[in-house]
Structure 1
């Protein structure tokens, strides 16, 4: 299970879904399907900025991860509570107006379990573990507790929930890891959109790949690519856009400071988008680890 910090809850999905930072479970994070000793805990803090030609999002997030035994395989419970400030310009009729919002965004809870190749191990047993092929599954849920005002063009809360199941695999070849994962995100309706209208959205489907290299120091670096499609939205049953797609490229570098602390740098870029909603994202995070063997 991941020795990682999920901090941005990818503002890429915020940009992708009509500039709502809370609807952001699509990840370009590597190492979702890996192994770790049972009972290990991680807490992290992160800062991320995402930009398009019209909007800038600054987000700060607190995350907690716990590794546990799930029918003999390692599993992870993860919760992320973000705070965000977003500002930019939007059209109101024929006029361009400045818009801004800030506050706590919607928390996301995720449970991920490895199904094959990542046995639940104690800290002592984990010392001799060597990865081969890992297959896993995860389920994320967004809880609509973020700040939302129906009369605002821009909000940090979504006033709707989603559920996101996913499957993935990780193959080890020496110091390299090759990961592939797919997710589908299903949305509930926002029944108080812009003064009592109903906003609905079709599912978003995504596929993500990572190539990761581990250094002898236990630092690691990853190159990442994600493809999204779907996500058509409608207001009161009337479609307001067509099917969308996006290619994202990114990189992540994790550097251990000592046995319990690590720092991570990450960035990603939209390389293709239909419609044209490319973005740039970068951030930094800190992680603290505690539990058996630390």
Structure 2
């Protein structure tokens, strides 16, 4: 059996460590819509380092942003049978150390904080091209066109101080429905995904104000080359726009429209372990998203008849 990648591609480190808290629309995640035998489990531990104008919350009125973030991520995923189709559930718990400075309406702002960021939970279904399969059926499976959908929820359990602008948690819920497609030609796979992130209000923003945010719309594309079973290289491009905020009903001038690009390399160590490494950077930014990220992740899989 070829090595099955988890539904958490390594770029989820980015989404889970910081961006998945208030800005999960910005993650770059290839192979999110790929099947595995029902009952397969995945455990992931990852580390990432980010430097620059990191969007802890890109809608904040900050300038001259210079932040350094080290993040550790623990995640669990399981392949499930959803109405006869391949499905996946994953849970992501990030812990981060953020240190740096920015400018808020001409005044310097500094922050040095360690703690939990908002966890993420997601349910995915492949409704075309990948019926639910056991290990024996999966051995003979060959991917062609896959169509899928997912719903991701950000849970407001992360560190939050209403007297500080920069936090690791968002103090609000978010939900991100997404549609994805994947098509394979020989060693090449092309993937696309379209999503929208919806937010509840933060009723205790920076001294007790009410802060709301309009949806962020996102799109991402991936070109993946399969070097050999379980080993692949992906080039990625993501776009996200929208997300204008209001404080106590007064709208801010902080519309987002940003592009990011990245590379991801994955390789198996043996039947159960694999490594993923990635790098990404801002390409075009309207708000503070011009940062660089690097990281590595170790994945372990079990169950599902492997």
Instruction: Give the Å deviation of 1:265.
Output: 0.1
Q: Matched residue of 1:274: which SS?
A: coil
| Partners of 1:154 and 1:285 in 2: CA distance | 26
| Partners of 2:254 and 2:263 in 1: CA distance | 30
Superposition pairs for residues 10-159 of structure 1, below 5 Å? 11=14, 22-26=21-25, 27-53=27-53, 54-91=66-103, 94-159=106-171
Seen in structure 2, the aligned counterparts of structure 1 residues 246 and 61 have a Cα distance that, compared at 3 Å, is: same
| Contact map agreement 1:11 1:24 (CA 8 A) in 2 | no
Instruction: Give the Å deviation of 1:228.
Output: 0.6
| Partners of 2:31 and 2:289 in 1: CA distance | 27
Q: Which runs of 5+ in 2 are unaligned?
A: 54-65
Match among 229, 243, 261 for residue 231 of structure 1: 243
| Partners of 2:129 and 2:180 in 1: CA distance | 12
Q: Matched residue of 2:81: which SS?
A: strand
Match among 180, 185, 198 for residue 192 of structure 2: 180
Instruction: Give the Å deviation of 1:276.
Output: 5.1
Match of 1:247 in 2: 259
Q: Matched residue of 1:33: which SS?
A: coil
Q: Deviations over 1:145-183 (max 9, x none)?
A: 111110112111110010100001000101111101001
Scaled by the length of structure 2, the TM-score of the pair is 0.89
Query: Once superposed, what is the RMSD of the aligned Cα atoms?
Result: 1.9
| Partners of 1:5 and 1:115 in 2: CA distance | 19
Q: How many residues align?
A: 290
**Greater relative contact order: 1 or 2 (C-alpha under 8 angstroms, separation 6 or more)?**
2
Instruction: Give the Å deviation of 1:94.
Output: 4.0
Which deviates the most, 229-238 or 92-101? 92-101
Instruction: Give the Å deviation of 1:60.
Output: 0.7
Seen in structure 2, the aligned counterparts of structure 1 residues 150 and 138 have a Cα distance that, compared at 3 Å, is: same
Q: Matched residue of 2:158: which SS?
A: coil
Scaled by the length of structure 1, the TM-score of the pair is 0.93
| Partners of 1:266 and 1:248 in 2: CA distance | 13
Q: Matched residue of 1:31: which SS?
A: coil
| Partners of 1:25 and 1:35 in 2: CA distance | 23
Q: Matched residue of 2:137: which SS?
A: helix
Seen in structure 2, the aligned counterparts of structure 1 residues 135 and 217 have a Cα distance that, compared at 3 Å, is: closer
Q: Matched residue of 2:24: which SS?
A: coil
Q: Which runs of 5+ in 1 are unaligned?
A: none
Match of 1:170 in 2: 182
| Partners of 1:140 and 1:74 in 2: CA distance | 17
Q: Deviations over 1:45-79 (max 9, x none)?
A: 00112221511221111000000111111000000
